Amino acid sequence: MKLFLFPGLALLLLAACTSEQTKRAAPVVKDPEFIAARSAFQKMYAAARGWHADAQIFRITSALTKDSKGHDGKSAVWQAWFASAAARSSKPYVWCGTNASDVERGISWGGEDSYSPTNTSTRAFEAPFLKADSDAAFAVALKHGGSKLLEKDPDQPVLYLLEWDAQVNAPAWHVIFGDSRTSYRLSVLVNASSGEYLRAEK
């Protein structure tokens, strides 16, 4: 049995198929996602526990991107280093929520490196120690010189670094008003467990 289509109906079907193909071919552009460190940490922590069950954090840093200056304690890219004392190895993980980065969106990770549990500069700690998030640390930093810098330069980039601080025996946030850890106008340290102001470095 042959099927005959009226010319008008055939054109409508062709147009519908072409429209559907165009919809499928169009790339989905996602808006950038800016989150505080704790949310990003939880995503990376789950992945790190899949690597080694005893994985613990010893460093978290943010990264600057074209669409994120790091204000409000949030970033579109966070990197965390985890250590396994049992395996004596460490591994970096990255959470990315933007297309304006060389890193692919989502969770990714790098290669393993050796790790010594006795190294004080990379002391690992358990997740419950991280009680004061990066947005809380940013609020503290504003009260200790940060707000004046942002008033003068609203585009001033802000970076975040979390490491164990032996002086207070707790992890501490370094809220860095500058382009890097070594080149900055102000760095405010905040206790990541209590949320208390520690000191400022210029």
- Three state DSSP letters for the chain: CCCCCCHHHHHHHHHHHHHHHHHHHCCCCCCCCCEEHHHHHHHHHHHHHHHCCCCEEEEEEECCECCECCHHHEECEEEEEEEECCCCEEEEEEEECCCCCCCCCEEEECCCEECCCCCHHHCCECHHHCCCCHHHHHHHHHHHHHHHHHHHCCCCCEEEEEEEECCCCEEEEEEEEECCCCCEEEEEEEECCCCCEEEEEC
Mean pLDDT of the chain: 89
Is residue 140 scored above 90 in pLDDT? yes
Q: Does residue 22 register a pLDDT over 90? A: no
The percentage of residues in the chain with a pLDDT greater than 90, rounded to a whole number, is 80
More confident residue, 106 or 181: 106
Average pLDDT over residues 189-195: 98
pLDDT band for position 30 (cuts 50, 70, 90)? confident
- pLDDT of the residue at 50: 97
| pLDDT per residue as tens digits for the range 33-90 | 999 999 999 999 999 999 999 999 999 999 999 999 999 999 999 999 999 999 999 9
Query: Which has the closest alpha carbon to 158: 136, 131, 185, 140?
Result: 185
- Higher-pLDDT residue of 81 and 7 is 81
How far is Cα 166 from Cα 136, in angstroms, rounded to an integer? 21
Distance CA 129, CA 133 (A): 11
